[in-house]
């Protein structure tokens, strides 16, 4: 990244929006807009995040603004929490750094008919059963073994592949973003190495910030939406946060390593080599999009298979049926994805390619792409905390379509690097600290608990207040963790 010699100008639009004018840096095609309050903005200034927002504004074909959500922090190329739409019909580009390494890292929420009071004294045992049945950790392999041919079929079919093999019910598809499939997936675009890495990892959590949490709904903030989702105070839910495992990482890695030359081939001059991009309509752009879609479909299958193991564990543990327990999918949303979507620019509706990196789709009530069940309230938005911090359910709002291409935040956002988090917690027993708060944790590696300690993240309550106040999404329910599985 080029050194910045002058301070980045930030013009206050209102209490929750800040503008980086395109006059700040030669080559910026649009302004940058950062969503934050004063407190979160101070944190954003502590790394290169704001400069990355400005860098993204250089992308050919970018439309509107280079956007950053309030959980923004430094990432590869794009800021994490970054959003950018490009026009494929006006030399618009796709940048793998704008989608990320963990393709379709995302979250799904499963509701139950169980009250927290029914778990008294049994939470630890249930956490242990989930840990025993859902593989996690670096390089973990799952219960499903695929041939390369079977894997290619899965990559192209999306999560319908899992449903056809009885890892869930057809109803689950309707409550998954894009019905669990990007149709542009072409398995021939995936390398042999990507296929090898992915073939035995389906149905696994992985490591890092990925988790499976048992949570309790501790506050309802928007009753009508909560009722539509079947959420009530004191209810136990399960949140799954994971992505496309080694397959998605390999797809991204192969492209970011070779695309500096690709960008040069098309005369694309950008301030950061990590932003390397290609025209959407170029052969290289089309090849990446086909492989990226495979990664997205892998992740939806991954979360679907984990959902199946969760349901099995709950049915065995409580010795009753899924019908009795509920175990219904509320929704599944992607955090790292690029999609072709129709959006209005003034009076004209256009097809745009929307990069969302550490950002969540947040379509409003009445949008044709959300389930009929939610058409009056808007698309559910799932904002995960981490171990000791709360998670939130929100719904998309009309202002998001006007301001952010129907997008909101995706989590709290890191405040400490993993290395700094380990240093800050040296000598502490994180699992014991959390148990004192009534949170039972099982982890494959103790290092992960130190890397993902709650204080390594920003205050998720602050982040969701900003997107609520800015009109991007409305808070529905707050959920606190009682049991956590980490890699």
- Catalytic residue positions, numbered: 410
- What is the helix (H) or strand (E) element at residue 481, kind and residue range? strand 473-486
φ and ψ at 288, to 5 degrees?
-65, -45
Which of 357, 469, 296 lies closest to 73, judged by CA?
357
Half-sphere exposure of 111 (CA within 13 A, CB side): 22
Which of 82, 86, 113 lies closest to 99, judged by CA?
82
> What is the distance between the terminal CA atoms of the chain, rounded to a whole angstrom?
32
- Residue 372 burial by CB count (10 A; 0-12/13-18/19+): exposed, middle or buried? exposed
DSSP 199: T
Q: What is the secondary structure of 269-325 as a DSSP string?
A: --S-GGG--EETTSHHHHHHHHHHHHHHHHHHHHHHHHHHHHHHHHHHHHTS-HHHH
Distance in angstroms (rounded) separating the CA atoms of residues 69 and 410: 8
Which of helix, strand or coil describes residue 393? strand
Q: What tokens does 67 get?
A: 């956007």
Residues 6+ positions from 412 with CB-CB distance below 8 Å: 71, 385, 386, 389, 457, 458, 459, 460, 463
What torsion do the CA atoms of 334, 152, 340, 49 make, to the nearest 10 degrees? 50
């Amino acid at each position: 990244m080029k050194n910045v010699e002058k301070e980045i100008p930030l013009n206050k639009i209102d209490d929750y929006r800040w503008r980086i004018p395109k006059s700040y840096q030669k080559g910026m095609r649009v302004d940058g807009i950062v969503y934050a309050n004063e407190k979160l903005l101070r944190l954003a200034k502590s790394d290169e995040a704001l400069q990355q927002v400005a860098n993204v504004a250089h992308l050919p074909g970018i439309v509107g603004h280079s956007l950053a959500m309030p959980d923004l922090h430094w990432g590869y190329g794009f800021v994490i929490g970054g959003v950018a739409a490009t026009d494929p019909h006006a030399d618009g580009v796709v940048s793998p750094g704008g989608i990320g390494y963990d393709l379709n890292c995302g979250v799904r929420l499963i509701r139950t008919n169980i009250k927290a009071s029914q778990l008294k004294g049994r939470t630890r045992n249930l956490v242990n059963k989930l840990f025993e049945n859902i593989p996690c950790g670096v390089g973990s392999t799952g219960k499903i073994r695929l041939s390369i041919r079977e894997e290619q079929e899965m990559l192209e079919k999306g999560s319908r592949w899992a449903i056809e093999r009885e890892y869930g019910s057809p109803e689950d598809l309707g409550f998954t973003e894009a019905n669990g499939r990007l149709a542009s997936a072409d398995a021939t675009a995936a390398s042999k190495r990507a296929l090898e890495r992915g073939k035995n990892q389906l149905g696994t959590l992985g490591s890092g910030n990925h988790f499976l949490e048992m949570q309790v709904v501790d506050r309802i903030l928007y009753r009508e939406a909560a009722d539509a989702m079947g959420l009530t105070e004191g209810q136990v839910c399960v949140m799954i946060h994971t992505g496309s495992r080694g397959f998605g990482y390999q797809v991204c890695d192969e492209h970011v390593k070779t695309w500096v030359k690709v960008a040069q081939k098309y005369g694309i001059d950008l301030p950061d080599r990590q932003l390397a991009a290609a025209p959407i309509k170029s052969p290289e752009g089309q090849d990446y999009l086909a492989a990226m879609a495979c990664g997205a479909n892998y992740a939806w299958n991954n979360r679907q298979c984990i959902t199946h193991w969760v349901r099995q564990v709950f049915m065995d543990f409580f010795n009753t049926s899924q019908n009795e327990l509920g175990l219904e999918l509320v929704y599944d949303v992607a955090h790292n994805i690029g999609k072709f979507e129709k959006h209005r620019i003034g009076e004209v509706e256009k097809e745009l390619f929307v990069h969302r990196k550490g950002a969540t789709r947040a379509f409003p009530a009445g949008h044709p792409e959300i389930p009929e069940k939610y058409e009056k309230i808007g698309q559910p938005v799932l904002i995960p905390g981490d171990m000791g911090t709360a998670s939130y359910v929100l719904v998309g709002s009309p202002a998001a379509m006007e301001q952010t291409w129907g997008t909101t935040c995706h989590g709290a956002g890191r405040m400490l690097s993993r290395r700094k988090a380990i240093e800050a917690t040296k000598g502490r027993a994180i699992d014991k600290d959390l148990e004192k708060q009534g949170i039972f944790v099982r982890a494959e590696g103790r290092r992960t608990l130190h890397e993902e300690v709650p204080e390594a993240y920003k205050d998720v309550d602050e982040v969701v207040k900003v997107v609520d106040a800015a009109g991007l999404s409305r808070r529905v329910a707050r959920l606190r963790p009682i049991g956590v599985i980490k890699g």
